[in-house]
Structure 1
Amino acid sequence: MSPPVQTHQDADTAQGFWFGDADTPLFGWYHPAQGAIRNSGVILCPPFGHEYMVSYRSYKHLAMRLARAGFPVCFFDYDASGDSADSDTARVTSWRKNIKQAAEQLRRLSGVAQVSLFGMRLGALLAAAVADDLSAPALILFAPVVSGRAYVRELIVLRGMHSIPPSDHPQQQISDDELTGYAFDARTRTELGQLDLLKIAAPQAATMIVARDDISGQEAKLANAWHLDHRAIHLSDSSGYAAMMTEDAHESVVPHTVWNDISEWLCSQIPHKKLRPEPAVIRRGDAALSIQAPLAKHCRLPYATSILEEEIVSFAGMHGIVCRLRPAHPASNIPDNKLSARPAIILTNVGANHRVGNHRLYVKLARRLAAQGFTVLRFDKRGIGYSLPTPAGLENDVHSPSGIDDIRSAMKFLEESYDAQQFVLGGICSGAYLSYLTAVHDERVTGLVLMNQLTFHWRHGDVIQTKKASTLKSTQFYWRAASAGDTWRRMLRGKIALRRIVGNLSKRLSRQVISSVRHSLARFMKTHHLLGRVARNFRAMQARGVELLFIFGENDSSIDLMTQHLGANAHLLPDRDGIHIEVIRHVDHTFTPMWSQEYLTDMLASHLEKRFPE
């Protein structure tokens, strides 16, 4: 079975919206039913943390498939996750409430009286916990967390397996209340420990359980336990879970076989409506779409002493969220598009992760910078998130050259809709790469924030997995490691790829020597034309007055990349006043520890405040 392709119609019909409590709004995607509507909508309950990030694209494809089958669908973010607002409510209590709020909203939008539930991992546990409260006619659990207590233990073990170098500084510790960059406090752990599907009666809903295919789980045990109370239990062993739940979202494979089985089973349980609701039916192409209530595109968020406005925006086939400062009182007479004369900030995707960024870092950055008076757009370039595929029809094409056009389209949109005149572009890794390329030729860019950029040249045919396999830590990391006795013991046991490390370090050294020779010749001959292309590009940007901020993890090989092209501490660039280099110790490539996220946010906010005063 060939996987379905995302069409313009699919992207056009899915609509982002805000719902829930006014002070802590939730973000969701509404997929109206296409064709004849069925008697139930479907709520997609996401998993937690890293599992949410890598499964995001797969959830989108499931939502589109179910909508094509006649189900109105809502895929949403829990409180304090994804694009949603943050609250101080106990997480698990809040997340169960959020599912009920999403169900109420889906009924209002679609006109259906019933709402079925789908969940994966933690989302499955939460869905099962509220299914009877919602009188759900159908319940689908994919690789469900059966015991909340066992799940907490599993995550705590996972936390201890990180490779982030330890720090002796008391403010640089990974606390017990975080997990791979996400808040995971004692109250959340306690609440989860109280949930156990084997200790509750089987939900009244017709139930489908899909087993994971990587390890032996408890799905069969759960099906047998519930079968004693409830005969409508369907256990599936369709494969696809392991290929979806990868380390990196770029490598995640949509489980089309599983999604097809779920769609067919759900269609067998939920018939079509006899009559479609008449009001507010709109048509796009051949699809009849029912939207019976307005979709909220704006929300206001209390943030410290400020009020922020977040607006869901669409342009050139792409989707994003604009965050900016709003007056606390609506009586202000300041025009909407004149709230700040500062440059607008655009945050570009980290790899194949959608616009919230790893560990929600982009959400935190956007809200912090907006509170300082900047207009901030975090958006999904083509091929990522809910944006259309690239011009080549691809998803997850992280380094596609069309990304440059996407950023320029975002700049044009901000010019026309928010009166932005200048721009600061920023991102991590591939987001830094595309920001750099855009800034080289676009004079509207007045600032660059490049975080752990791993390449300045991406050639057609390059493969991310190959690049990652050949990417090492910083040279300084290996010098420090060479003085540690454990390093030599691991090398003698064959646990260190010494030949590959030495080979790559030799290449680094030779490139840095070539760069130094070029620099010496350029100084002797008083011309910059002998410098490499990257150095010339940065010099040209400096001549335009572009403010440059480089941010590196101490052990990240991006430091050596800068040294190779720009010299140590970027000494090949003449204007030192326009350059700031920040090296952060004890972090990984995506700034996972929560203390480092706070440090990075504070540092970036301070830098931009200084460089671009009101």
Structure 2
Amino acid sequence: MTRSFHQIACESETLATSLDSGNEATALLIVSGGNEIRAGAHGGMAQLARRIAEQGFPVLRYDRRGIGESSGENREFPGSADEIAAAARFLRQQQPQVSKIIAFGNCDAATALALFGPDAGIDGYVLANPWVIETSDKRDSEKSLPSSAAIRSRYWDRIKNPRTIIDLLSGKIDFRKLLKGLMQASKVEENSALSIRLRNALSRLDRDSQILLAKRDTTARAFLATWNSPDFATLRASTGITLETLDSASHSFADQAAKDWLAGKLIEALRQA
């Protein structure tokens, strides 16, 4: 296994990429979420790539246009179709033995892969904590209020915890504030336009796909509520999509147990491709 760094063409700009070579015929394309560089949160994606490549699978990561060492304007995830296609094409060129590409993305990268992966020739998908919250500016997503569905899920977890009853009786939890929060969370909201667009994209995927959720993460809670809504009933019945959860609040799968779980799921997907 060797790691090399490249600048590849994407329309009139260049993408900074990192390629971990391998001998297997199936490769992994890692698409960064948010405005993360290809190393990911605190180098997590670089470590993940090395771990996957040690099993013989080539792995390509890249910085989206306008991010990290890539040139051009950051078009956010809705404008990332060209980057995904350019990265997949380069991966096949550099590793000519590759016949299948499995793509992994977390958060808005997962949503982007569902939307644009088929046109890029992606053969399989591992989508973690897909982004479904509509915002006027994705760059401010971290400041966005969670959906009512996500708040309901969080309150339900608290209510199921026996410690909550003890804290209520002892006065550590303000009952009126808890009741107010529950009333706010009980508001029914429609699925966002983005979630409906994601549903339609997922329904068009003609390849097996995995959805992975860190179930105590706010983004994952919002997606899960959307997934369980009537709008997604037909999709839930599909045999082509599997959904698995990890009891974790780590959005980026940063702790060791979450890292191991994610790596295991990716290696399994690559071996089964």
What's the TM-score, normalizing by structure 1? Answer: 0.38
Deviation digits for residues 29-84 of structure 1, max 9, x if unmatched? xxxxxxxxxxxxxxxxxxxxxxxxxxxxxxxxxxxxxxxxxxxxxxxxxxxxxxxx
% identity of equivalent residues: 22
- Aligned with residue 165 of structure 2, among 474, 485, 492: 485
Counterpart residue number, 2:79? 402
* RMSD between superposed Cα atoms in Å: 3.2
Aligned counterpart for 2:24 among listed residues 340, 343, 350: 340
Q: Secondary structure at the match of 1:435?
A: helix
Partner of 2:18: 321
The answer (yes or no) to whether the contact 1:347–1:379 under 8 Å persists in 2 is yes
1:588 equivalent in alignment to 2:250: yes
Question: In the alignment, does 2:56 pair up with 1:373?
Answer: yes
Is the 1:421–1:444 contact (alpha carbons within 8 Å) kept by the matching residues of 2? no
Change (3 A) 1:400 1:575: closer
Q: How does 1:237-386 map to 2 (within 5 A)?
A: 308-316=1-9, 317-325=14-22, 339-342=23-26, 344-386=27-69
Which consecutive residues of structure 1, in runs of 5 or more, have no partner in the other structure? 1-307, 326-338, 513-531
Rg bigger for which structure? 1
Shift of 1:348: 1.3
Task: Measure the CA separation in 2 of the matches of 1:369 and 1:593.
Answer: 17
For residues 466 and 498 of structure 1, the distance between their equivalents in structure 2, rounded to whole angstroms, comes to 25
SS of corresponding position for 2:123: strand
Is contact 2:39–2:46 with CA below 8 Å preserved after alignment?
Answer: yes
- Structure 2 residue identity aligned to 1:471: P
Give the match for residue 465 of structure 1: 140
Describe how 1:61-140 pairs up with structure 2 within 5 A. none
Secondary structure of the 1:602 match is helix
2:33/2:108 contact within 8 Å kept: yes
User: Measured at CA, do residues 533 and 386 of structure 1 come closer, stay the same or move farther in structure 2, by a change above 3 Å?
Assistant: closer
Residues 563, 464 of structure 1: alpha-carbon distance in 2 compared, 3 angstrom cutoff: same
Q: In structure 2, do the counterparts of structure 1 residues 444 and 487 end up closer, same or farther at CA, with 3 Å as the change threshold?
A: farther
Q: 1:425 aligns with which of 91, 96, 103?
A: 103
Structure ranking higher on relative contact order (CA contacts 8 Å, 6+ apart): 2
Q: CA 1:400 to 1:598, structure 2 compared with 1: closer, same or farther past 3 Å?
A: closer
Q: Give the C-alpha shift of residue 311 in structure 1.
A: 1.1
More helix by share: 2
Query: What SS does the corresponding residue of 2:81 show, helix, strand or coil?
Result: helix
Mapped to 2, the partners of 1:497 and 1:372 lie a distance apart of 51
Structure-1 separation of matches of 2:35 and 2:166: 35
Deviations along 1:348-382, whole A, 9 cap, x unmatched?
11322211112422123212222233221011111
Structure 2 unaligned residues grouped into runs of 5+: none
Counterpart Cα distance in 1 of 2:263 and 2:180: 37
Query: 1:462 Cα deviation (Å)?
Result: 2.5
Q: Secondary structure at the match of 2:47?
A: helix
Counterpart residue type for residue 20 of structure 2: C
Answer yes or no: is the 8 Å Cα contact 2:214–2:246 preserved in 1: yes
**Deviation (angstroms), 1:496:** 6.9
1:114-133 Cα deviation digits (max 9, x unpaired)? xxxxxxxxxxxxxxxxxxxx
User: Deviation string for 1:330-357 (max 9, x for gaps)?
Assistant: xxxxxxxxx3322x32111132221111
Partner of 1:535: 199
So what's the TM-score if we normalise by structure 2? 0.79
The one-letter code matched in structure 2 to 1:318 is: L
Match of 2:115 among 433, 437, 451: 437
Deviation at 1:567, TM superposition (A): 4.5
